Amino acid sequence: MTFEAPQKGNPRRLTVNQHTFPSASIARFAGARGSVQVFHKRTQKVIPVKPKDQFFCAQRVWDQKAETGFMKGVEDAFQELAGEILSGKIHRFGASEAEVINEFYCLWNIRARHKQFRIADQSLADYGALAVAREYTKDEQEIMELEGIGCIRPDLTMASRLLVAPTIRLNLSDSVQMLRGALWQVLRAREGAGEFIVPDNFYKLWAVPLSPTVCLWAHSKETNKMLDRAALAVINRDAVETSLEYYFARDLSQCPR
């Protein structure tokens, strides 16, 4: 399904390529050449991809206000926390840290699903509408989108992204509520055990890979657990299984399965 391109030159600077998993998170897995190794399920090929590449993105699946508003807030809080974890400043999580992880984990998975199962624009003509009171220009429509205001196009359709954004916000609130009480911990791969695989979603497990050898995990009361190769392989197999379109790593040959 195609997306609606912004007006020529994109003067309102609308985000077309929307990452489901942030480029800042992907970049932590990049190798010496600045790319990660991606296994593309449809083609069954391994390809190098840069963190900011369109490959990792949905294209205007949700609106601009969501992209730069509550979603950015969730991502920024998580990236700050991830940096502190990887630098060794934080080892255990209180309620506030758990909330940050819960929101990020849920948002990642919800966006991945909306990318994969994109809904169509909605036609009000199907509900008996005959005309709009005012026909907004393309520029006016984009200005309103920046402010989180939806409108009906002259052809009586409404862009699906204007409906997806509030749906994601409601889904996020419900999903985070279900995760309250989850005990997140830091898993680390032992030296020589291998590296983590990152799926395009992780519905199967409450897990968020942070780097090639560090992963957040919410399935046991143990903290700072060190994984041997066999334990790492179990998580990586689940990552491969849960992925819809692709999975990636710094070096897939170093990822036991």
Is residue 56 included in any domain, yes or no?
A: yes
Q: Is residue 66 part of a domain?
A: yes
99 within a domain of the structure (yes/no): yes
pLDDT in the model for residue 92: 84
Question: Residue 129, SS3?
Answer: coil
User: Which residues in the chain come in under a pLDDT of 70?
Assistant: 1, 129-130, 220-224
The torsion region of residue 224 among left (phi > 0), alpha (psi -120 to 50) and beta comes to: left
Q: What is the per-residue pLDDT across 135-166, written as a single tens digit (0 to 9) for each?
A: 999 999 999 999 999 888 988 989 999 999 99
Token pair for residue 59? Answer: 């294209």
pTM, two decimal places: 0.93
In a domain, 206, yes or no: no
For residue 148, the 8-state DSSP code is: T
**Rounded CA separation 20/136 (Å):** 30
In the 8-state DSSP scheme, what is residue 62? S
Distance CA 102, CA 39 (A): 27
What one-letter code names the amino acid at 85? I
Instruction: Give the burial string for 32-57 (b: 16+ CB within 10 Å, else e).
Output: eeebbbbbeeeeeeeeebbbebeebb
Number of domains in the chain: 1
The predicted pLDDT at position 220 comes to 63
**Coil, helix or strand at residue 113:** helix
164 phi/psi in degrees, rounded to 5? -65, -40
Residue 170 inside a domain? The answer is yes
Q: Is residue 189 part of a domain?
A: no
Residue 202 lies in a domain: no
Q: For residue 27, give its domain range.
A: 17-121+159-180+245-254
Whether residue 238 lies inside any domain: the answer is: no
> What is the pLDDT, as a whole number, of residue 245?
96
